[in-house]
Amino acid sequence: MPGFKIHNHQQAHFITCTVVDWIDVFLRPKYKKVITDSLIFCQSNKGLRVHGWCLMTNHLHLMISAKEDHNLSSILRDFKKFTSVTILEDLKTNSKESRRKWILWMFKKAGRDNPNNKKFQLWQQGNRPMEVISNTFFIQKMNYIHHNPVKEGFCKKPQDYPYSSAQWYIDKTGIIPIDEILI
């Protein structure tokens, strides 16, 4: 997306990864696990630092940065490629997803319409990265991330939604370990 680029890879960025056409792919626990396991893998093996996150049914909000000597754009590219391939392969072969044919058709159409892809596309192009430059911006975006499931009616309190970092900021528990930062 023009105007939105990562320049300082070690600085925290607010990023949203969105499924093409806002298709609700992350309804099934197995696809949520693909995302969370991938984020944990990127933390352990690729230099990703996760400061906040929330996985919704069709998008993923992240507050992330890269460790020194790591490239945040490359980490995101690898994350999106791996999760796409894994989810698409499951949809093609093993899925009990009732919307399987329609989802695959939509992903195939999106891939065909995008000159950067050859066959299928799960994630929309671009992440609209916004560099965190102040405490105010950080708090605003973290509140937005953590209140997204409340706004959608998935829970009453942010910390009750398991697919986010809200609980971590209360008692240091949750699916993904968080790299806390001071702005």
55, 46, 132, 133: which is closest to 87 by C-alpha?
55
Within-domain flag for 176? no
Angle at 79 (CA atoms; ends 77, 82), nearest 5 degrees? 105
Instruction: Specify the pLDDT at position 1.
Output: 38
pLDDT of residue 171: 95
Domain-embedded: residue 178: no
150 in any annotated domain? yes
Tally of structural domains, the chain: 1
- Residue 152 corresponds to which tokens in the numbers above? 């959608």
Radius of gyration of the chain (CA): 16
Domain that holds residue 50: 13-171
Q: Is 24 a member of any domain? A: yes
Q: What is the pLDDT of residue 58?
A: 98
* Angstrom distance (rounded) from CA 152 to CA 149: 5
- pLDDT tens, residue order, the chain (183 aa): 344 688 888 999 999 999 999 999 999 999 999 999 999 999 999 999 999 999 999 999 999 999 999 999 999 999 999 999 999 999 998 768 889 999 999 999 999 888 877 789 999 988 889 999 999 999 999 999 999 999 999 999 999 999 999 999 999 999 999 998 865
**Any domain includes 38:** yes
Burial of 153 (0-12, 13-18, 19+ CB in 10 A): exposed
Enter the pTM of the model.
0.93
Residue 177 lies in a domain: no
**Helix (H, G, I), strand (E, B), or coil: what is residue 82?**
helix
Q: Which amino acid is at 178?
A: I
What is the distance in angstroms between the CA of the first residue and the CA of the last residue of the chain? 26
Of 17, 4, 5, the residue nearest 79 (C-alpha): 17
Q: For residue 14, which of 116, 160, 141 has the smallest C-alpha distance? A: 141
Is 98 within a domain? yes
- Can you give the CATH number for the domain in which 160 is found? 3.30.70.1290
Q: What is the Cα–Cα distance from 114 to 148, expressed in whole angstroms?
A: 29
CA distance to 48, 121, 156, per residue, from 180 (Å): 13, 32, 25
Is 180 inside a domain boundary?
no
